[in-house]
Protein backbone atom coordinates (compact mmCIF):
# COMPACT_ATOMS: atom_id res chain seq x y z
CA UNK A 1 0.00 0.00 0.00
CA UNK A 2 1.29 3.53 -0.75
CA UNK A 3 2.55 5.60 2.17
CA UNK A 4 3.54 9.26 2.10
CA UNK A 5 5.80 10.71 4.78
CA UNK A 6 6.88 14.34 4.60
CA UNK A 7 10.52 14.91 5.58
CA UNK A 8 10.78 18.64 5.07
CA UNK A 9 13.91 19.59 6.98
CA UNK A 10 17.51 18.76 7.71
CA UNK A 11 16.79 16.95 11.01
CA UNK A 12 14.12 14.81 9.36
CA UNK A 13 16.56 13.81 6.62
CA UNK A 14 19.41 13.07 9.01
CA UNK A 15 17.45 11.32 11.78
CA UNK A 16 14.17 9.91 10.43
CA UNK A 17 15.17 8.86 6.92
CA UNK A 18 17.75 6.28 8.17
CA UNK A 19 14.94 4.61 10.12
CA UNK A 20 12.72 4.63 7.06
CA UNK A 21 15.52 3.23 4.93
CA UNK A 22 15.94 0.30 7.36
CA UNK A 23 12.18 -0.29 7.41
CA UNK A 24 12.13 -0.20 3.62
CA UNK A 25 14.60 -3.08 3.54
CA UNK A 26 12.48 -5.09 5.98
CA UNK A 27 9.07 -4.40 4.40
CA UNK A 28 10.09 -3.93 0.78
CA UNK A 29 8.49 -0.59 -0.10
CA UNK A 30 10.00 2.20 -2.19
CA UNK A 31 11.26 5.41 -0.62
CA UNK A 32 11.30 8.62 -2.67
CA UNK A 33 12.74 11.87 -1.34
CA UNK A 34 11.16 15.19 -2.37
CA UNK A 35 13.52 18.10 -1.70
CA UNK A 36 11.78 21.22 -0.38
CA UNK A 37 14.00 24.29 -0.66
CA UNK A 38 17.59 24.69 -1.76
CA UNK A 39 19.42 23.72 1.42
CA UNK A 40 20.10 20.13 0.32
CA UNK A 41 22.81 21.12 -2.16
CA UNK A 42 24.74 22.90 0.62
CA UNK A 43 24.85 19.85 2.88
CA UNK A 44 25.14 17.17 0.17
CA UNK A 45 28.94 17.39 0.30
CA UNK A 46 28.95 15.71 3.75
CA UNK A 47 29.65 11.97 3.60
CA UNK A 48 26.69 10.97 5.79
CA UNK A 49 24.23 12.96 3.65
CA UNK A 50 25.70 11.49 0.45
CA UNK A 51 25.33 8.03 1.99
CA UNK A 52 21.63 8.68 2.71
CA UNK A 53 20.80 10.26 -0.65
CA UNK A 54 22.28 7.31 -2.55
CA UNK A 55 19.85 4.96 -0.83
CA UNK A 56 16.56 6.59 -1.89
CA UNK A 57 14.71 4.98 -4.80
CA UNK A 58 14.49 8.45 -6.36
CA UNK A 59 14.91 12.12 -5.51
CA UNK A 60 12.71 14.95 -6.80
CA UNK A 61 13.80 18.57 -6.53
CA UNK A 62 12.68 22.01 -7.73
CA UNK A 63 15.43 23.07 -10.11
CA UNK A 64 17.54 21.66 -12.90
CA UNK A 65 20.65 22.94 -11.12
CA UNK A 66 19.70 21.00 -7.99
CA UNK A 67 19.07 17.89 -10.08
CA UNK A 68 22.47 18.29 -11.71
CA UNK A 69 24.27 18.55 -8.36
CA UNK A 70 22.35 15.60 -6.82
CA UNK A 71 22.35 13.26 -9.81
CA UNK A 72 25.95 12.05 -9.21
CA UNK A 73 24.69 10.83 -5.83
CA UNK A 74 21.50 9.27 -7.13
CA UNK A 75 20.97 8.63 -10.84
CA UNK A 76 17.20 8.72 -10.36
CA UNK A 77 17.04 12.42 -9.50
CA UNK A 78 14.36 14.42 -11.29
CA UNK A 79 12.92 17.92 -11.44
CA UNK A 80 9.47 18.18 -9.93
CA UNK A 81 7.61 21.24 -11.19
CA UNK A 82 6.92 23.83 -8.52
CA UNK A 83 3.33 24.10 -9.75
CA UNK A 84 3.57 27.54 -11.29
CA UNK A 85 1.11 28.42 -13.99
CA UNK A 86 3.08 28.76 -17.21
CA UNK A 87 0.17 30.23 -19.19
CA UNK A 88 0.68 33.71 -20.65
CA UNK A 89 -0.17 36.60 -18.34
CA UNK A 90 -3.69 37.97 -18.81
CA UNK A 91 -4.00 41.35 -20.48
CA UNK A 92 -5.17 44.32 -18.47
CA UNK A 93 -8.05 45.95 -20.31
CA UNK A 94 -9.73 47.70 -17.37
CA UNK A 95 -8.18 48.73 -14.09
CA UNK A 96 -10.22 50.21 -11.27
CA UNK A 97 -8.84 53.33 -9.56
CA UNK A 98 -6.86 52.90 -6.37
CA UNK A 99 -3.63 51.30 -5.31
CA UNK A 100 -2.77 47.79 -6.41
CA UNK A 101 -0.02 46.49 -4.14
CA UNK A 102 1.73 43.34 -5.30
CA UNK A 103 4.19 41.46 -3.09
CA UNK A 104 6.63 38.80 -4.29
CA UNK A 105 7.81 36.81 -1.24
CA UNK A 106 10.16 33.96 -2.19
CA UNK A 107 13.71 33.25 -3.22
CA UNK A 108 14.27 35.84 -5.94
CA UNK A 109 15.10 33.83 -9.03
CA UNK A 110 13.81 33.19 -12.53
CA UNK A 111 12.60 29.70 -11.59
CA UNK A 112 10.34 31.11 -8.85
CA UNK A 113 8.60 33.47 -11.28
CA UNK A 114 10.17 36.85 -10.46
CA UNK A 115 10.19 37.99 -14.08
CA UNK A 116 6.51 37.07 -14.48
CA UNK A 117 5.72 39.19 -11.40
CA UNK A 118 7.71 42.11 -12.86
CA UNK A 119 5.94 41.75 -16.21
CA UNK A 120 2.56 41.79 -14.45
CA UNK A 121 3.48 44.98 -12.58
CA UNK A 122 4.70 46.58 -15.81
CA UNK A 123 1.49 45.60 -17.64
CA UNK A 124 -0.67 47.06 -14.87
CA UNK A 125 1.45 50.22 -14.83
CA UNK A 126 1.06 50.58 -18.61
CA UNK A 127 -2.71 50.22 -18.16
CA UNK A 128 -2.56 53.34 -15.95
CA UNK A 129 -2.91 51.46 -12.68
CA UNK A 130 -1.48 52.85 -9.48
CA UNK A 131 0.59 49.71 -8.89
CA UNK A 132 3.60 48.78 -6.78
CA UNK A 133 5.56 45.55 -6.57
CA UNK A 134 7.55 44.89 -3.41
CA UNK A 135 10.08 42.09 -3.92
CA UNK A 136 11.11 40.31 -0.71
CA UNK A 137 13.54 37.43 -0.44
CA UNK A 138 17.15 36.40 -0.88
CA UNK A 139 18.68 36.92 -4.33
CA UNK A 140 19.29 33.40 -5.69
CA UNK A 141 19.87 33.85 -9.41
CA UNK A 142 21.52 30.83 -11.00
CA UNK A 143 22.50 32.65 -14.17
CA UNK A 144 24.36 35.95 -13.83
CA UNK A 145 22.46 37.36 -16.82
CA UNK A 146 19.21 36.95 -14.83
CA UNK A 147 20.72 39.06 -12.05
CA UNK A 148 21.65 41.75 -14.58
CA UNK A 149 18.12 41.76 -16.05
CA UNK A 150 16.60 41.98 -12.55
CA UNK A 151 18.80 44.94 -11.56
CA UNK A 152 18.11 46.65 -14.88
CA UNK A 153 14.34 46.34 -14.35
CA UNK A 154 14.65 47.79 -10.83
CA UNK A 155 16.69 50.71 -12.16
CA UNK A 156 14.23 51.37 -15.02
CA UNK A 157 11.11 51.34 -12.84
CA UNK A 158 11.96 52.69 -9.37
CA UNK A 159 8.54 54.37 -9.21
CA UNK A 160 6.73 51.03 -8.84
CA UNK A 161 9.34 48.25 -8.42
CA UNK A 162 11.32 47.88 -5.18
CA UNK A 163 13.56 45.19 -3.75
CA UNK A 164 13.21 45.03 0.06
CA UNK A 165 15.83 42.38 0.81
CA UNK A 166 15.45 39.15 2.73
CA UNK A 167 13.36 38.74 5.88
CA UNK A 168 12.94 36.02 8.52
CA UNK A 169 9.93 33.98 9.67
CA UNK A 170 8.31 36.41 12.12
CA UNK A 171 8.92 39.36 9.78
CA UNK A 172 7.07 37.46 7.04
CA UNK A 173 3.98 37.26 9.22
CA UNK A 174 4.14 40.95 10.15
CA UNK A 175 4.90 42.04 6.56
CA UNK A 176 1.96 40.08 5.22
CA UNK A 177 -0.52 42.05 7.33
Do 136 and 169 meet the contact criterion of CB atoms below 8 Å apart?
A: no
3-state per-residue secondary structure call for the chain: CCCCCCCCCHHHHHHHHHHHHHHHHHHCCCCEEECCCCHHHHHCCCHHHHHHHHHCCEEEECCHHHHHHHCCCCCCEEECCCCCCCCCCCCCCCCCCCEEEEEEECCECHHHCHHHHHHHHHHHHHCCCEEEEEEECCECCCCHHHHHHHHHHHHHCCCCEEEEECCCHHHHHHHHC
What is the predicted pLDDT for the residue at 84? 53
By the 10 Å C-beta count (0-12 exposed, 13-18 middle, 19+ buried), 119 is classed as: middle
If you average pLDDT over residues 112-117, what whole number do you get? Answer: 92
CB atoms within 10 A of CB 13: 20
pLDDT in tens, 50-59: 998 898 888 8
Nearest Cα residue to 161 out of 105, 102, 92: 102
User: What pLDDT shows up at residue 173?
Assistant: 45
pLDDT digits (tens, 9 = 90+) for 12-34: 888 888 888 888 878 777 888 88
Asked if residue 87 has pLDDT above 60, the reply is no
What CA–CA distance (Å, rounded) separates 164 from 175? 11
* Dihedral sign, Cα of residue 5, residue 172, residue 119, residue 147: negative
For residue 120, the model assigns a pLDDT of 92
| Over residues 36-48, mean pLDDT | 80
Average predicted confidence (pLDDT) for the chain: 81
β partners of residue 130: 99
Tens of pLDDT, residues 93-104: 455 567 788 989
Amino acid sequence: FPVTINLSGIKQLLIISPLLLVMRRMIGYKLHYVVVGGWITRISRHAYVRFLLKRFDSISCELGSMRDSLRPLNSKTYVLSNYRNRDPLPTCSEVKPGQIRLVFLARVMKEKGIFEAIELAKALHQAQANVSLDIIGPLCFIDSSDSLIFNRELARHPDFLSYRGSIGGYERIVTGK
